[in-house]
Structure 1
Amino acid sequence: MSEHLGPYELLSKLGAGGFGEVHLALDAEGRTVAVKVLHPHVTADGGALARLAREVETMRRVGGPHVAEVLDASLEGDRPYLVTRYVQGRPLSAVPVPVPDLRRLASGLADALLAMHESGVVHRDLKPANVMMAEGEPVVIDFGIASALDSLSVTASGAVVGTPGYLAPEVLEGKSAGMEADVFSFGATLAYAATGRQPYGQGPASAVAYRVVHHSPDLEGVPEWLASLLRECLSTDPAARPTAAQLCARLGVEPVSRVRHVPPRAMSLADDLATREWRPGKGGPRRSVEESRARHREKVRRRWLIGSGLFVSLLAAAAREPLPEVSLFLLAAYALAVVTDAGVALFSKGLFRRSRMITDLVSVAGAVGLCFGLAAVFSTFTLALFAGTALVVGVVFLLSA
């Protein structure tokens, strides 16, 4: 049985990280989203939670095709959570490497960095596990969370803020880290994608961290057009690294405005650190999950009704001249099925009872009229060809779905 958290219905657990568990969920509109439920050791740290509350408002302004936008948040109660766009795909850490289309990956990651940095957000934990590959396009997830929760008490509680091998040297040395640290992580992530190897080797975290600070990265096998750029990104001197805008310029990414415009809240987070639930698309009551599902079922039913009506009309029109009995049988069977559905709707108490009955009756009349119209205009052979094509397309659609 599914579990509810606020207005969200949690469907299944997708995974877990240092800061929380991620669940696939449905919002009140019936859309899939990703809900990150924070771990108890994070929620027990009042200072870290307050810092996250301050940062979430900024994180919500980050938008673009290569970032999983923060849609909603509730940092009150026993189970604080963040809601982001659900990205269907696999993390870069789980796909075959080297990645064949490195330029596409590099351009997408540079675009994501620019989107975050233009909004004033530092990811702080960019790595292959936080890059989802959706049909070949990279989408960065979990941006800003590690930066917001980087406090001594949270770290001591067991959450590792960042991953050695992808963290910049200044972060590992405890110095102040800004957007330049994300550029280092960008370089390390692309180096892994280009070679299939960790750029600073494997082993204990302390050994990897030592190599990051004192050794050069392993870039053997990286294409030359990318290797020169990665060497700059992986410089131990933050000032020597290019900015996100410079990365986009060198990779040919078109600069566009990616900052989402979020309506101002009545109370600032500085006055109220307990983040309220933000509801995207305000302006009217939100539907319940049950109502959203009913609307989705009705939409699917109408599509099947129309599609099957068109197909039956084609078959009946093709059979009208050589086999009139078959043509009449097809129309009668379709009409009987649809009228039965209308009768069920008549005695039901669903939200769409009236519109369902009207749609059913119109579909029957439309199928009969279309049959006679097609038979009058097209030959039997042409209609049979149309019907066969429609059948093949329908089968392919069902298999792909």
Structure 2
Amino acid sequence: MTDRLLVHLGVPPAGPTADVEPIGPRTTAAADGAAGPDHELSALSPDWSPTSPTDPARLGAFDLFARNHSGWGALSLYLAWGPNGELATVRTTERLFEDDPEQARELIRTEAACLHRMAGVSAPALLDWHAAPGRDAPWLAAACLQASTGAIMAPAPNLQDVYERSRGPVTAERFGQIGRSLAAAVHRAHRLGLVHGALTPRAVLATDDGVQLIGWITASVDGAHSRYRPGFQRNRLYVKDGPLTQYPENPRDRTAEVIVAVGPGPTVEGDMYSVGAVLIALATGRWHEVRPDSATMAALADSDVDPDLAWLLWRCLSDDPAARPPAADLIADFDRVTAAPPESGPQVDCLAGVQREVDRLRTLASQDAQRFQPALARALNALADRSAEASRPEAAEAAGAEAIGIFRRLAERDPHVFRSELARSLNNLAVRLGAAGRLGEAQEAIAEAVALHREARLSEPESHHSDLALALTNCSNLLAEAGRTAEALDLAREAEDLYRSPSLPDVWRIRSDRARALNNLANRLGDAGLATDALDTATEAVALYREAVQQERGAGLPELATALDNLAVRLGSMGRYEDARVAHAEGLAIWRALTGTPDHRHGDAFQASQRIGTWLDDAAPSGA
């Protein structure tokens, strides 16, 4: 029932053209200090400058080298190199943390929860984050979105920058691309229970293939609004909040009886107002005057926007929220205007974009393999992930296998840089092969992944704990399916020992992976007949997931429901039927709530949970 197809990569940055030089990935020489960050800054806009001695040099596993000068004063945004040479943006609430630690943590938790749900589609891929209690300031790292600018790749511009660089309105083709992508991004967010609530031009970044949304720190998640939203001023030309919103006294306790009225909260209809305002400003250049008045209407009528589409955008600015069109209507009208074929939704949009990225990079790699093959392999891994999400297993396997072939050649040349990426690619392939019932091939792939991670740890003893632990967990699952119970239990125990390493950062991703490993260990202990140990371990997994859900504003609810079902099975197998029903009822309620949303990904898990309930009813003695 647990989904073992772990997707770790988001949508790759927009790819370069034949004459475009991207920022990164950092080479081995640069990583060792031979080439410093000043060389990279030549590709950046004036909004960025080298970090100063007062800036942090490193946050988590990310080396900071440039600082952004725009945005809110309480927040800082940096460019950084990630642990595998990838370019990342790192946001920190360090200055706010000095005055209000809880607010600083809550803002990062909210953005992490949103990016986790968006899963690298229409928003930057979440790489890592930290917002645990303690003396360290919270931070969040996400994939850096890039776009071609002349002969270089640079951090993607926001929509107002796009307009200014084009010295006026963008072409009709570019407007259609941006508009449809923005509507699809908002549609996806709303389907996932998110309301952005701050869609100004600065929150919409334009890549070569469309747009991506940033700035989620005060978004609403499943109807829970951020109590800190009123403290962040926004351009009221673009942002229209709903009625006065009430919040729990304790922002972590959404069921608290004591509530306080803080201010208006974001709504789906408010997001649609923002979409209309942003796109009308892009079409007319009225960035500081985009109001629902006769002047804006006249400017829109004089633009090159299709009249019917212009009227739909104008409706977004209606004073009556109910009169504003939903995002799906905008998508359909952009498809009509651009003669784009109907597609099946955001997953297909994303898949097509990643395929275009792969095609571009494949051409570039044929011309300069040393320079572009690493980027091609990463794009292929992203294509494998997106193909799997779109229920195209054959395409996912083919893309993953091609990525492995490239990383294998790169690792032979430079194992220090590419060995871990080869191992992660093998790990993902093994999970897919196992899900397809091809256990022999899956075991070969995961065994190689484990061996590579062990080699990496020999050269860097304090690193690679989490990668090795994840591979061991997956290997344990495959061995268990093959009936090799003792070996599976040994690997599950080793994975849990690794997650207890004091060198691992206390971040949500690590805690979530550890809870998943505990669930696996509980299953392996149960297979070995160690029922009491299995129950204790399953209980610990539930506690970890429950803590994550409470602290991270809903992130990890499916994982918590899975852990609760697992705990119910453990309790039921020991004859504790009343306790089992309590655990199962909580898990089933979560599945029912998740399945009742417009996103139906959890239907199979809901049905499996129902079967557990039937099993409990059948197994319990009469009257128990």
Relative to the length of structure 1, the TM-score reads 0.55
CA contact (8 A) 2:84 2:417 kept: no
Q: Does 1:183 align with 2:277?
A: no
**Is contact 2:238–2:273 with CA below 8 Å preserved after alignment?**
yes
**Alpha carbons of 1:53 and 1:142: their partners in 2 closer, same or farther (altered >3 Å)?**
closer
Q: Match of 1:347?
A: none
Is 1:237 the counterpart of 2:293? The answer is no
Cα 1:105/1:250, change in 2 over 3 Å? same
Counterparts of 2:63 and 2:95 in 1: how far apart (Å)? 20
Deviation at 1:198, TM superposition (A): 2.5
For residue 14 of structure 1, report the CA deviation from its aligned partner.
3.3
Deviation sequence 1:153-212 (CA, Å, 0-9, x none): x745xx32x2221112647995443111111111011011101112735xxxxxxxxx66
Give yes or no for the alignment of 1:62 onto 2:118.
yes
Seen in structure 2, the aligned counterparts of structure 1 residues 225 and 300 have a Cα distance that, compared at 3 Å, is farther
Runs of 4+ in 1 over 4 A off after TM superposition: 146-150, 171-174, 257-260, 294-297, 299-302
Letter of the 2:414 partner, please give it.
Answer: E
The structure 1 residue matched to 2:158, chosen from 91, 113, 117, is 91
Do residues 246 (structure 1) and 329 (structure 2) align? Answer: yes
Matched residues in 2 for 1:84 and 1:179: separation? 25
**Aligned match of 2:196 in 123, 143, 146?**
123
Give the superposed CA RMSD.
3.8
SS at match of 2:64: strand
Question: What is the SS of the residue equivalent to 1:61?
Answer: helix
Match of 1:57, SS? Answer: helix
**More displaced 10-residue stretch of structure 1: 75-84 or 97-106:** 75-84
Tell me: CA distance 1:216–1:121, structure 2 relative to 1, closer, same or farther (3 Å): farther
Partner of 2:212: 139
Instruction: Quote the residue 1:340 is aligned against.
Output: none
Equivalent position to 2:90, from 35, 39, 44: 35
Q: After superposition, where does 1:1-400 map in structure 2 within 5 Å? A: 3-18=57-72, 19-41=74-96, 44-49=99-104, 51-52=106-107, 55=110, 56-63=112-119, 65-76=121-132, 77-88=135-146, 89-95=156-162, 96=166, 97-100=168-171, 101-135=174-208, 137-145=210-218, 147=220, 150-151=226-227, 155-156=230-231, 159-160=232-233, 162-168=234-240, 170=242, 174-198=263-287, 200=289, 215=293, 218-219=296-297, 220=299, 221-222=302-303, 223=305, 224-252=307-335, 254-256=343-345, 258=347, 298=414
Matched letter for residue 276 of structure 2: G
1:199 touches 1:218 (CA, 8 Å); kept in 2?
A: no
- Post-superposition CA distance 1:112-161 (Å, at most 9, x none): 11221121111111121122222252222223545588545x745xx32x
1:16 and 1:296 map into 2 onto residues whose CA distance is 43
Match of 1:271 in 2: none
Identity %: 28
The answer to whether the Cα contact below 8 Å between 1:131 and 1:140 also exists between their aligned partners in 2 is: yes
Q: Secondary structure at the residue paired with 1:200?
A: coil
Contact 1:60–1:71, Cα closer than 8 Å, also in 2? no
Change (3 A) 1:141 1:169: closer
2:108·2:138 contact (CA, 8 Å) conserved in 1?
Answer: no
Amino acid at match of 2:334: L
Letter in 1 for 2:142: T
What is the aligned residue count? 257
The letter for the 2-side match of 1:235 is S
After superposition, what is the alpha-carbon deviation per residue over 1:19-77, rounded to whole angstroms, capped at 9, x for unaligned?
A: 52211111211111111112522664355346446533343110355322333211134
Residue 58 to residue 146, structure 1, CA distance change in 2 (3 Å): closer
- Against the structure 1 CA distance between its residues 51 and 80, is the aligned structure 2 distance closer, same or farther, given a 3 Å change threshold? closer
Structure 2 vs 1, CA of residues 171 and 163 (structure 1 numbering), >3 Å: closer, same or farther? farther
- Per the alignment, do residues 47 and 4 of structure 1 end up closer, same or farther by CA in structure 2, a change over 3 Å counting? closer
Q: Deviations over 1:82-103 (max 9, x none)?
A: 1112111222111233121211
Residue 324 of structure 1 aligns with which residue? Answer: none
Amino acid at match of 1:91: N
What is the CA distance between 1:239 and its match in structure 2?
A: 1.2
Query: Any conservation in 1 of the 2:77–2:90 contact (CA below 8 Å)?
Result: yes
Amino acid at match of 1:81: W
Structure having the higher helix fraction is 2
The one-letter code matched in structure 2 to 1:251 is F
Q: 1:110–1:244: 8 Å Cα contact kept in structure 2? A: yes
Given that residues 130 and 142 in structure 1 are in contact (C-alpha distance below 8 angstroms), is that contact kept between their aligned partners in structure 2?
yes
The two structures have a TM-score, normalised by structure 2, of: 0.36
Please list the CA deviations of residues 191-243 of structure 1 after superposition, one character each: whole Å capped at 9, or x if unmatched: 11101112735xxxxxxxxx66xx56713133214311111111111111122
Q: Aligned partner of 1:90: which letter?
A: P
Which structure has more RCO (C-alpha within 8 Å, separation ≥ 6)?
1
Contact 2:104 2:138 in 1 (8 A): no
